[in-house]
Amino acid sequence: MNHALILPILLPAVVGAVLVIVARHDALLARALSLTSSVLMLGIAIMLLVMASDGSVRSYALGAWPAPFGIVLALDRLSALMLVLTAVLGLGVLVYAVCGWDQRGRHFHPLFQFELMGINGAFLTGDFFNLFVFFEILLIASYGLMVHGGGGLRVKAGVQYVVTNLIGSSVFLIAVGMIYNVTGTLNMADLARVVPQVPAADQALLQTGAVLLLMVFAVKAALVPLHFWLPGTYANAPGPVAALFAIMTKVGAYSIIRLYVLAFGADAGEAAWLAAPWLLPAGLVTLVLGMTGVLAARSLGQMASFAVIGSMGMLLATVAVFTAQATSAALYYLIHSTLGAGALFLIADLVAERRGGQRDRLVAAPKFAQGGLIAGLFFVAAIAITGMPPLSGFIGKLLVLDGVRESAHAAWFWALILSTSLIAIIGFSRAGSIVFWKTHAQPAAAAPTRRSDAPALFAVGGLLACLVLLTVFAGQVHGWLELAAAQLYAPAGYIDAVLGTAQGVR
Amino acid sequence: MEFLVASAIGVMTAAGIYLVLRARTFPVVIGLSLLTYATNLFLFATGRLAINQPPVIAVNAVGYIDPLPQALVLTAIVISFGMTAVVVVMALRAYLETGNDHVDLPGDASPEASEDDWKQRGRRQQPPPARSGGGARA
């Protein structure tokens, strides 16, 4: 057994606990520990990515309990990719947060580590009750992060967020119960083996459970009509936390890709491609609603939230085509939109911090410190997110348009993606001109005395640099993603790897 | 017994959903608790209902009951209990900081929330004036 598989969960768990106990009163130590852990995490994630690149699926049976009975972790290309993405975004956000945000409340760093632990666990686990547990870990940490720094409005938005997710958790458990009731297993690979043999009499229960589970993942992924919690939460969360949350919607997307290709895919008999008829229209509506929201937003934070919703719509509609080609395009877009949204939330926070009373609202305000540089960063992020050439958003959209060409609904995709891109461009240019250009028309305020926080700008620049790298190496990245998608659509390898360990250990 | 358990789950879920849709945080918290009770009971019932059967190996056992749902329920109870505590604390904090216990964010969209706000109305120490209609009630 390869113990490296559990490191992405173990490292943040241990560091988080140490941070709570040892570094509670020492800001410097907490920052150092947290940053070290995030850098190590990135190293581990890249190591796992290299390991997974050989095309085999690795599984890790916790406590050496054989697979359908014990809990397993499984690493394939998709999981490894998500781990690296989490580590990159996490490091960027943490570098930003240590410029001051982490001191505005207590326990930022432990919560941050536990959040990473939950996210990593959700990407690695091969058992869907365990998926529930990791969802809870990341949610509990996110409740704390969401209200970090306090303030009435933020706490109230936090209550809405907690209530929504608690209802989601209840539905998750009911769905898990239904599926377990019919199939008698909680292991995803074992589920994939059992689902085709479910008798017709039990199909109704199984499929209800599966669709309920899809609903839970849709809540996490902010799919219309379950997206309503996102704008309030993200726009009121602290900037760096909102940026980290950009990966949380992707946890929902990952779970959908994983479970509905593996267990309810081509071989599932009556339940084959169960998710597609729900996911595709919902995704397209989400795309339209999100991009329209960008146009209607009243603050940069809100605009970024709606951009996240729109990108989730496009991502999930593309996934819902359920072909390897479309999925590889969706995965490329997923990397791009996570990093882009993270950068955009950080930029919104940079603006809000510097403008004083106007915060990040889309109203004209006097000039602020480093306005030119931040405007440049915003410009790059906007180009990337709206999908204009030359950055990765353009390539992502191109891949998606190409990937769905064979689909029966290709006309819808083309029409909606192209028209919503235009709407998004209008929304972003409006916001950018109000925030960054109309400053000249305003009377100059007293020179802001804020010190320049180079690491914060560096963090935003770093995330945007990742987008540039993603553009430059688009060919190689997409080639790798095609292999990852092909691996997903050949679930036999995954099932053998997970259930095979059982025989190996015994 | 099946009928009893099933109707208990159904009634609790219905009551829970009704309460979760209320406008103030207290009924919402109670609704969430009911919903989690219903979920726990449902999860427990997925292992089939049977009386006097051991979950793990026992001498002289004629049959066994599935032990896994019981383990799942235990996990779910712990998580939902902790989460209820979290949501109570956050609701209390939101009440103290914003001045009202409505779930809605204060603003133009929810005039009721501003109407009930003790900070805005400056009646922190006084009992609320009697209202004639039930419009602003939860």
DSSP assignment of A148-180: TT--HHHHHHHHHHHHHHHHHHHHHHHHHHHHH
Whether A178 shows a pLDDT value over 80: the answer reads: yes
For residue A73, report the phi and psi dihedrals to the nearest 5 degrees. -110, 145
Q: Which of B39, B87, B105 sits opposite A174 (nearest CB)?
A: B39
Whether A170 shows a pLDDT value over 50: the answer reads: yes
Q: Report domain extents, chain A.
A: 275-472
Q: Which helix (H) or strand (E) holds A58?
A: strand A58-61
B72·A176 Cβ contact <8 A: yes
User: What rounded mean pLDDT belongs to chain A?
Assistant: 90
B32·A166 Cβ contact <8 A: yes
Whether A505 shows a pLDDT value over 50: the answer reads: no
- Give the pLDDT of residue B66: 87
Whether A485 shows a pLDDT value over 90: the answer reads: yes
Whether A288 shows a pLDDT value over 90: the answer reads: yes
Residue A11 is which amino acid?
A: L
Whether A446 shows a pLDDT value over 80: the answer reads: no
- Give the pLDDT of residue A452: 56
- Give the pLDDT of residue B137: 44
For residue A173, report the phi and psi dihedrals to the nearest 5 degrees. -65, -40
| Collapsed DSSP state (helix, strand, coil) of residue B102 | strand
- Burial degree of A197 (CB within 10 A; 0-12, 13-18, 19+): exposed
Encoded tokens for B97: 């900081």
**C-alpha gyration radius of chain B:** 21
pTM for the full predicted model: 0.91
Whether B127 shows a pLDDT value over 70: the answer reads: no
How far does the CA of residue A258 sit from the closest CA of chain B (Å)?
Answer: 22
- Give the pLDDT of residue A504: 42
Q: Using the Cα atoms of residue A342, residue A116, residue A263 and residue B79 in order, give the sign of their dihedral.
A: negative
Whether B95 shows a pLDDT value over 60: the answer reads: yes
Whether B23 shows a pLDDT value over 50: the answer reads: yes
Instruction: Please indicate whether residue B57 or residue A330 has the higher confidence score (pLDDT).
Output: A330
Q: Where residue A366 falls among pLDDT bands split at 50, 70, 90?
A: confident
For residue A164, report the phi and psi dihedrals to the nearest 5 degrees. -55, -45
- Give the pLDDT of residue A475: 94
Q: Which alpha helices (H) appear in A263-368, and where do they start and end?
A: 276-296, 300-319, 324-355
Domains of chain B: 2-51+65-120 (1.10.287.3510)
Whether B111 shows a pLDDT value over 50: the answer reads: yes
Distance, CA of A428 to CA of A422 (rounded, Å)? 10
Q: Among A284-288, B28-32, B63-67, B89-93, whose mean pLDDT is lowest? A: B63-67
Whether A226 shows a pLDDT value over 80: the answer reads: yes
Tell me, yes or no, if A296 comes closer than 8 A to chain B by beta carbon.
Answer: no
Q: Where residue A31 falls among pLDDT bands split at 50, 70, 90?
A: very high
- Give the pLDDT of residue A431: 92
Tell me, yes or no, if A228 comes closer than 8 A to chain B by beta carbon.
Answer: no
Residues of B in contact with A178 (CB under 8 A): 46
Please list, in sequence order, all residues whose beta carbon lies within 8 angstroms of the beta carbon of residue A295, skipping any fewer than 6 positions away.
A423, A424, A426, A427, A430
Minimal CA–CA distance to A75: which of A130, A123, A116? A123
Q: Are A94 and A40 in contact (CB under 8 A)?
A: no
Q: Which of B83, B98, B103 sits opposite A166 (nearest CB)?
A: B83
Whether A69 shows a pLDDT value over 90: the answer reads: no
Q: Are A132 and A166 in contact (CB under 8 A)?
A: no
Using CB atoms and an 8 Å cut-off, which of residues 119-138 of chain B contact chain A? none
Residues of B in contact with A173 (CB under 8 A): 39-40, 42-43, 72, 76
A173·B76 Cβ contact <8 A: yes
